[in-house]
Amino acid sequence: MKNKMIQQSYNALPYLKMGYVLYILDNKAMAYRDEDRITLYHEKWHTKISDDDFLEMFANSSFQLIESKEELDISKEKDDEYYQWRYHHQ
């Protein structure tokens, strides 16, 4: 199911709830569900928003289904280690 194209946020939200990561084609950001919020991640910014905000903000956006969050293997510990290392080595 990887790389499936999805139109409109109401079609994309169920995939986020199932644990998939979506690429938002309109603004080149990644979206995934983290507990009860949706995390949006762009190379220059990141934020968390509610389901309702996601539905409103991306109502007419196009999405690409990337993979499940488990496949992405996001490790908060490794992420924190990286940013600590980066901070100390700049």
Three-state SS at 14:
helix
| Global model pTM greater than 0.85 | no
21 or 3: which leads in pLDDT:
21
Structure confidence by residue, pLDDT tens digits, 10-52:
999 999 999 999 999 999 999 999 889 999 999 999 999 999 9
- pLDDT reported for residue 68: 67
Radius of gyration of the chain (CA): 14
Q: Count of CB atoms within 10 A of residue 40's CB?
A: 21
Query: In what side-by-side order are the strands of the sheet with 45-49?
Result: 5-7, 62-68, 20-24, 29-34, 37-42, 45-49
Within the chain, where are the H helices?
9-17, 51-57, 69-72, 76-88
